[in-house]
Structure 1
Amino acid sequence: MNVSISGHHISITDAMDTAVREKLEKVERHFDRIQSLQVILSLDNSGAKKSHKAEAIMRVSGKEMFVQALDDDMYKAINEMADKLDRQVRKYKTKLESKKTQGAGRDGRYEDLMTAEAEPAVEAAV
């Protein structure tokens, strides 16, 4: 998995980098077919208080997922961003698995039709 971590109006410390990578390991445990992951940590000074924002853009085959989290503390924003991304990954994985099990095969209606046609033939032969 290709992970890039960048900062906007903030310098990325080793502690921030480590926190992001540790949190994203949980996401990777749930889904291993991640192509790339871009994390942007930013600081917004426009209001009365500082707002820390953590954003992530994750690319998997055929889909791109985006999450963002805002908080007063950067580490809380990172945790919330990782949790949101994990929820999206689990939802996407569940959809993929349900499509795989559903398949393009016959459904229950076909078996019902075949048994309904077979029963009168058995009664006529008796």
Structure 2
Amino acid sequence: MRDRIMQITIRGHHLAITPAIEENIKAKFNQLTKHLDQVNSMQIKLTKDHQIDKRSHKGSSNHVAEAIVRLPGIELFAQATADDMYTSIKKLTEKLKKQLLKYRKMQCTYSQVAVSI
């Protein structure tokens, strides 16, 4: 596999991106793409959503993680929500892993069809 520097852009909305969150994201996404070197770039958006219950007037926070992964000819999108940002990042990587495996399987299938013709 060739060595490539993948561009990972991390943005926070109503949330400060701490070095711990940034390192967690980079570790998870580098692990996610170690077998697929075709990833051009990733954009990750972390949002802290405040919701207020009308009856109790108490607030709760949803932590939303979204990612766009750009591959040659295709963009993958995933979104995950949890009560904790680290949990939403974990769910996000699991969703993207499924999509990347599906993409990789599709690429292998097309290359086998092209060879057999």
Give your verdict on TM over 0.5.
yes
- Report which of the two structures shows the higher radius of gyration computed on alpha carbons: 1
- Name the CA distance, whole Å, in 1 between partners of 2:109 and 2:76: 19
Secondary structure of the equivalent of 2:37?
A: coil
Match of 1:96 among 107, 110, 113: 107
Report the AA paired with residue 30 of structure 2: E
- Name the CA distance, whole Å, in 2 between partners of 1:98 and 1:81: 26
Q: Does residue 7 of structure 2 align to residue 2 of structure 1?
A: yes
**Percent sequence identity over aligned pairs:** 34
Report the AA paired with residue 61 of structure 1: P
How many residue pairs are counted as aligned between the two chains? 106
Secondary structure of the equivalent of 1:70?
A: strand
Give the CA RMSD over aligned residues: 1.2
Q: Which runs of 5+ in 1 are unaligned?
A: 107-126
TM-score, L = length of structure 1: 0.80
Structure 1 runs, 4 residues or longer, greater than 4 Å off:
none
Q: Deviations over 1:5-42 (max 9, x none)?
A: 01001010000001100110122113111001000001
Report the AA paired with residue 107 of structure 2: L
Output aligned runs, 1:23-102, within 5 Å.
Answer: 23-47=28-52, 48-102=59-113
Secondary structure of the equivalent of 1:3?
A: strand
Secondary structure of the equivalent of 1:39?
A: strand
Q: Which runs of 5+ in 2 are unaligned?
A: 1-5, 53-58
Say which structure is richer in helix: 1
Say which structure is richer in strand: 2
